[in-house]
Amino acid sequence: MMSNKTLKLVTAALLAALTCIATMIIQIPTPVTSGYIHLGDGFVILSGILLGPAYGAAAAGIGSMLADLLSGYAAYAPITLTVKALAALFASLIFHALQKKGGRFHAFPAIAGGSCAAIIVALGYFAAEAVILGYGTAAAASIPHNLAQGVFGILICVSLTKILSKVPFLSAVRSSKP
């Protein structure tokens, strides 16, 4: 039988791959920002909820960064790693603070954690684009697109979490200590 640490590590690697694929498989271009809206943020939030703050942040950040590297957005890779890891970290902390331990899945904690993640992503990219990439206040144009993507991410995450909360293997991952 696998140890809890191995189980979490393997699940984190799987969620990183799923985050990367979900980010790359459907990309809806946003002409204003030269970026794209994708399904990956649902898996960013899901990573935090299923794996907890540390493993969830690693899976979300690495998976999202790999999508940037493979999609031709290498300049954004370090920003994405940081922003998406922070989004998953805080989504996890809020979800686990509000969700009853060992209780049935409730959507509100996932929505609250996902909302925080969406705000972190929108403000994180705004700050990085304004300061690091030198776009200044023009970077504010990305905020509505990132918030819209966050809403889709929350919907995806809540739907998947409700389904996945019934899978015994994933219940064991959620309840195991790192």
Residues 6+ apart with CB under 8 A from 172: 7
Residue 57 falls inside a structural domain: yes
Residue spans of the chain under pLDDT 50:
178
Residue 165 is predicted with a pLDDT of 78
How many domains does the structure of the chain reveal?
1
DSSP letters along 114-161, please? HHHHHHHHHHHHHHIIIIIS--GGGGGGHHHHHHHHHHHHHHHHHHHH
* Domain with 22 in it: 4-173
Residue 173 is predicted with a pLDDT of 60
Residue 125 falls inside a structural domain: yes
CA gyration radius for the chain? 16
Give the global pTM.
0.91
Residue 178 is predicted with a pLDDT of 46
Q: List the CATH number of the domain containing 67.
A: 1.10.1760.20
Residue 89 is predicted with a pLDDT of 98
Whether the CB-CB separation of 49 and 105 falls below 8 Å is answered with no
Residue 114 is predicted with a pLDDT of 97
Residue 178 falls inside a structural domain: no
